[in-house]
Amino acid sequence: MNYLENVWHAGIPALFFWLVFIYSMHNNRSRYRNTFLLMMAGCFSIPFVCSLTGEYATTTFVVLLLLIILLILFVPIGLIWNGILMWRREGRSLGNLLSLAFGLIIGIGEIATFIFVLLTGSQVVDRWSDFLSHISQGLFFISISVIYVSLVFVSFMFYCLFLQIIPHKRDFDYVIIHGSGLHKDGTVTQLLKDRCDKAIEVYRKDLSPPILVPSGGQGADEVCSEAMAMKNYLLSQGIPENRIEMEDQSTTTWENLKFSKTLIESFPGRHYVALVTSNYHVYRALRYCSKLNFSCTGIGARVASYYWPSALIREFVAVHREPKHLILFLIGYVLVIAPILIR
């Protein structure tokens, strides 16, 4: 009976947050709060999983805690390595250095945390109390700041991953393909090819093949529009021309969706729409759909594994540049560090 009681008490918080998360996501998959609800559901699931092991609950918790700590310690090393790899393969642009910079920041925070714990538990503090107390407080401030940013990012990352594994309905009427850069000869890049291939996969699995809407205008350094390049590729893969409708005026993700929405709504009949973009980009695309009151199902295309961390960091920065999210982020940060400042 004691075992069942422990499982029940540990399961109630986990069940509560999973139900709230599912309800919130069902209403709108682009809601920012979904990222935190998923994190809370996952955190409260850990005690529940431990309770299922009965008398080994403490051992299970310690093992999980050690695995989490090892993962946290590995994160900055992985990001720094990824940043160096991006630098070598994709060039030295600011966007390609994001994972390197983020890895260094997290690494500094982890070192600060380690030194803070070492100083706090050391007898040396008694001899140099005034001097070391200020250093300790500064290290604690750095540690808390990095931990806060890291947790917000991890919440964002897990939700973006979650969006890729949940099932979605089929029988689409239209599939929007988001544009990206082209090769100098006007052919699609690997990133754009992967998006087109994902759209073709959706097209071929559908019982009533949808109309594909390649979306993207012509850049100043491009020989044709991205929509035309995608159309040529789709035709080469056996997609009939009468199942392709180009949107070739947009220059941004926002315009991709805005102009595609106008194009699709100009056709009569049902408008059940999917949007295909790179997997790291689905969440932000869905946010724009929500703002445009445009009902879409987001489908992510694969990207090279080495490219994904930097791309996801760019998405994280882009989302938090929005005034609403920036304010919420800063409010959360102030609430976290307020006790330190008051002290």
Q: What CATH number has the domain bearing residue 217? A: 3.40.50.620
The whole domain housing 233 covers: 174-303
Asked if the model's pLDDT at residue 285 lies above 80, the reply is yes
207 and 118 in a single domain? The answer is no
Query: Given a cut of 60, is residue 124 above it in pLDDT?
Result: no
Gap between the Cα atoms of 317 and 313, Å rounded: 6
User: Are 222 and 239 in a shared domain?
Assistant: yes
User: Tokens standing for 2?
Assistant: 């004691």
- The larger pLDDT score, comparing residue 2 to residue 41, is at 41
6 and 39 inside one domain:
yes
**What letter represents residue 73's amino acid?**
L
Instruction: Give the tokens for residue 218.
Output: 């012509």
* Cβ atoms 295, 274 nearer than 8 A: no
pLDDT of residue 39: 87
Query: 254 and 296: one domain?
Result: yes
- 320 near 329, Cβ under 8 Å? yes
Q: What is the crossing angle of helices 308-319 and 98-120, to 10°? A: 80
In a domain, 287, yes or no: yes
Question: Does residue 69 sit in the same domain as residue 201?
Answer: no
Residues 47 and 72 grouped into a single domain: yes
Which residues, in sequence order, are bridge partners of residue 244? Answer: 212
Among 120, 140, 165, the domain-final residue is 165
Which pLDDT belongs to residue 310?
Answer: 85
Whether the Cβ atoms of residue 30 and residue 289 lie closer than 8 Å to each other? yes
Residue whose tokens read 């140099």? 128
How many domains is the chain built from? Answer: 2
Mean pLDDT over residues 314-334, rounded?
Answer: 86
The predicted pLDDT at position 131 comes to 55
d(CA 277, CA 297): 11
Specify if 334 maps to a domain: no
Instruction: Give the single-character DSSP code of 223.
Output: S
Give the bridge partners for 275, in sequence order. Answer: 176, 298
> What beta strand segments (E) does 263-320 contain?
273-278, 296-301
Same-domain check for residues 157 and 274: no
Residue 315 domain flag? no
In one-letter notation, the amino acid at residue 148 is Y
Q: How much of the chain exceeds pLDDT 90, in percent?
A: 21
pLDDT of residue 98: 82
pLDDT at 214: 93
pTM, full prediction: 0.79
> Which string of b and e fits 65-85 if b means at least 16 CB within 10 Å?
eeeeeeeeeebbeebbebbeb
> In this model, does residue 126 exceed pLDDT 60?
no
Instruction: Supply the pLDDT for residue 20.
Output: 93
Same domain, residue pair 111 and 14: yes
In a domain, 336, yes or no: no
101: tokens are 């910079």
Is the Cβ–Cβ distance between 100 and 80 less than 8 Å?
Answer: yes
Which residue in 159, 165, 176 sits closest to 316, CA to CA? Answer: 159
Within-domain flag for 158? yes
Q: What's the confidence (pLDDT) of residue 174?
A: 94
Is the pLDDT at 122 greater than 80? The verdict is no
Same domain, 128 and 264: no
The residue among 206, 205, 203 whose CA lies nearest residue 214 is: 203
